[in-house]
Structure 1
Amino acid sequence: MGARGSVATTAVAGCAAVTAGLQPATGMVTETPDFAGTGLPELSSFVFGGHDVASSPLPKRAEELAAGGVLPHGLPAAVRAELAAADEEIRMGGPLPGDTRDDEELIAAFAADITDFARRTGVARTVVVNVSSTEPAPADGDTRLPASSLYAAAALRAGCAYVNFTPSTGLRHPDLEAAADAAGVPYAGRDGKTGQTLLRAVLAPMFRQRALAVRAWSGSNLLGGGDGASLADPAAAAAKNAGKNRVLEDNLGTLPEGEVHIDDVPALGDWKTAWDHIVFEGFLGSRMVLQTIWQGCDSALAAPLVLDLARLTARAHEAGLTGPRPELGFYFKDPDGGSSALAEQYGALLSFAERLREAR
């Protein structure tokens, strides 16, 4: 979902580039030796499709990303055939303004598109990954499911593994609890951990383990592109920040003073800057400060994780593992249970790899 966005385009182009030996699989954890012999699907076996409300074709979007320095110069031309093939499998998303279909009709239509994709392409199994723009959390009294939850419900109905890489509601809607329990598919989420929160998941345990009292933790994000535009909505930004705060509260035992501000700077495109200001207290009440600056390309950070998650959930589905997969919390700000400390999450992920290896 969000199949013509920056993250999806980078994932499709990157998968083709790695498969052809044009680029290394940098950033793909599943390509490291710890995941050898786990039976993960080969990248060369991937078939891409999806939904989006945007109409710009993937080859053109890839050219735009290359012009912005996200993709290597010349890569869009080198993998144009793969991008075009994926674009042929992208259908118009929704619900669009003026759509009179009710939730049940929309879910049925989306599920039919997914099952038709699987039938037409002959894939062994399908993974539905949400990489669309962040939506606000549902308001009290809303009688309709948000778009992310409609697609999550469609994934369940189509019998697909599901990954929510966004802060949007997805499967975390109370109306979907029973369907998720009964679906018999693996699912994971929520909100991919790619930059500022990745660093927080490393630093916060350090302070607690060294018995240093964190008094305040403030942050700021400057970003452009589709993410910047969608997060300019305060309600969408609040959904995003909830995951960032969870990492601090889980690791520190309490949520310190401070807020995270998100500013839309269109000129930055797919590049973002994240700044953190941490006030902590040491022995005899000595006050100290740690500041960090993270500058990176969000799409290049996210795309290899999306490919990892597609491989891991597909393999889990094949192995008969169902329900929420807290072992994949390594990839998320707001995971389905388990620790929020990165080192512990990585240990759980390696244990999961061993479980998949034993299931062969």
Structure 2
Amino acid sequence: MTPTDARTGVWLIGARGSVATTTVAGCAAIAAGLHPPTGIVTAAPAFADVAWPPLSSLVFGGHDPTDRTLPGKAAELAAAGVLPHDLPAAVARELAEADREVRPGGPSTGDTRTDDELIASFAADIASFATRHDLPRVVVVNVATTEPAAHPDDPRLPPSSLYAAAALRAGCPYVNFTPSTGLRSPALASLAADSGLPHAGRDGKTGQTLLRAVLAPMFSQRALTVRAWSGTNLLGGGDGAALSDPAAAAAKNAGKARVLTDTLGHAPQGEVHIDDVPALGDWKTAWDHVAFEGFLGTRMVLQTIWQGCDSALAAPLVLDLVRLVARAHQAGLSGPLPDLGFYFKDPDGGPGGLAEQFAALSAFVARLRTSG
């Protein structure tokens, strides 16, 4: 890659949220040598010899309707222990530069613009960003708060689909890291097919579902019958508030259930419950209770507890996906990228088990290593 090609734009939908702020701050910290690239798979030794866009060359911008700032949000995250306490000051310049590239987006309350007018406006923001910074490509990543599932009879596109359509109209690869509709709207099927652009997945696989993707194959491979698999999530922050809406929670839980169905071959009894606990902020506790049956019908139970920070789990995956999709775009690939299922609860096809998904990712990286 030439120095010009190495500069890659990253346009974040939800650019002043926890995941976006952690991504920008973390990228700057790693590029400056302040922290190691822990959690970034594309920085692992097996993948390090690919011509990925260097983290130091990523240029950030995005859409966010809030009036908070990235430096302010970073300070909040540091106070909550999500970011190291001294990091916001150490990367203040990079946070401020990214914040200056954030546009309000929409639609806001009372916005009378049509869907096409909104898409055109969002696409113009992205195109202007690319022009100002002389970027050969911009990867658009949705890390906004989960929206309720779209109603099939709604004449308007949901916000996530407006942004997805804007990404393609601006000629940009697209990644949906949320459970929101995004490119999965039937109204965008022809646009996605005709765009000639790569796009990836829906709903990043960061915590409870990652653990399920590891454990479910164990039961199948050992011929143990899973009778029920129930779970509970306690979380706060913006996601906790958004997921207190039953419609938004249903969109989120669909991906969690899909992993079990795809791996076990059936949907076991049990549900996932999501409780908003504002005091937890960006931290989350997830319990799973697995009732299974073994030899001679012996009934047994496995219980797990996952305590983690969603932003810290998600940010390195966002950086991975930016690098992977940017490299795929440079290599001339287009359409859905099922080989990136390792990162998603709801991938674009491909194998279901995490080990098989990692093998597919490794094969995909091998292709990227020698193409473009």
Decide: shared fold, TM above 0.5: yes
AA aligned to 1:3 is A
| CA deviation profile, 1:177-229 (whole Å, cap 9, x unmatched) | 00000001100010000000000000000000000000000000000000001
Distance in 1 separating the partners of 2:317 and 2:200: 12
Q: SS of the counterpart of 1:48?
A: strand
Counterpart in the other structure of 1:142: 154
Question: How much has 1:138 moved relative to structure 2?
Answer: 1.0
Distance in 2 separating the partners of 1:205 and 1:136: 30
Unaligned runs of 5+ residues in structure 1 are none
Distance in 2 separating the partners of 1:352 and 1:23: 28
Distance in 1 separating the partners of 2:97 and 2:225: 54
AA aligned to 2:36 is P
Counterpart in the other structure of 1:356: 368
Distance in 2 separating the partners of 1:69 and 1:123: 34
AA aligned to 1:280 is F
Distance in 1 separating the partners of 2:120 and 2:191: 14
316, 327, 333: which one pairs with 2:339? 327
Q: Percentage identity across aligned positions?
A: 73
Counterpart in the other structure of 2:198: 186
Counterpart in the other structure of 1:284: 296
Q: SS of the counterpart of 1:192?
A: coil
Distance in 2 separating the partners of 1:213 and 1:287: 9
Question: How much has 1:171 moved relative to structure 2?
Answer: 0.2
107, 123, 134: which one pairs with 1:95? 107
Q: SS of the counterpart of 1:47?
A: strand
Distance in 1 separating the partners of 2:286 and 2:307: 6
Counterpart in the other structure of 1:199: 211
Matches within 5 A, 1:64-143: 64-143=76-155
Counterpart in the other structure of 2:248: 236
Q: SS of the counterpart of 1:4?
A: coil
Counterpart in the other structure of 2:63: 51
Q: What's the TM-score, normalizing by structure 2?
A: 0.96
AA aligned to 2:338 is P
Between Structure 1 and Structure 2, how many residues are aligned? Answer: 360
Distance in 1 separating the partners of 2:327 and 2:251: 30
What RMSD in Å do the two structures reach over aligned CA positions? 0.6
Distance in 2 separating the partners of 1:317 and 1:38: 14
AA aligned to 1:202 is V
Question: How much has 1:268 moved relative to structure 2?
Answer: 0.1
Question: How much has 1:326 moved relative to structure 2?
Answer: 0.5
Q: SS of the counterpart of 1:34?
A: coil
* 2:54 maps to 1:42: yes
| CA deviation profile, 1:45-68 (whole Å, cap 9, x unmatched) | 100000001111101100000000
Distance in 2 separating the partners of 1:288 and 1:198: 22
Counterpart in the other structure of 2:351: 339
Distance in 2 separating the partners of 1:226 and 1:53: 14
Distance in 2 separating the partners of 1:329 and 1:158: 25
Unaligned runs of 5+ residues in structure 2 are 1-12
Question: How much has 1:123 moved relative to structure 2?
Answer: 1.4
| CA deviation profile, 1:122-176 (whole Å, cap 9, x unmatched) | 1121000000000011113100000000000000111101000000000000000
* 2:307 maps to 1:295: yes
* 2:231 maps to 1:209: no
More divergent stretch after superposition (118-127 vs 209-218): 118-127
AA aligned to 2:348 is D
| CA deviation profile, 1:279-325 (whole Å, cap 9, x unmatched) | 00000000000000000000000000000000110000000000000
Distance in 1 separating the partners of 2:306 and 2:86: 27
Distance in 2 separating the partners of 1:227 and 1:249: 25
Question: How much has 1:38 moved relative to structure 2?
Answer: 1.8
Distance in 1 separating the partners of 2:303 and 2:65: 39
Q: What's the TM-score, normalizing by structure 1?
A: 0.99
Counterpart in the other structure of 1:221: 233
157, 163, 177: which one pairs with 2:169? 157
Distance in 2 separating the partners of 1:62 and 1:108: 31
Distance in 1 separating the partners of 2:72 and 2:370: 43
Return structure 1 stretches of 4+ with deviation > 2 angstroms: none
Distance in 1 separating the partners of 2:304 and 2:352: 20
| CA deviation profile, 1:237-282 (whole Å, cap 9, x unmatched) | 0000000000000000000000000000000000000000000000
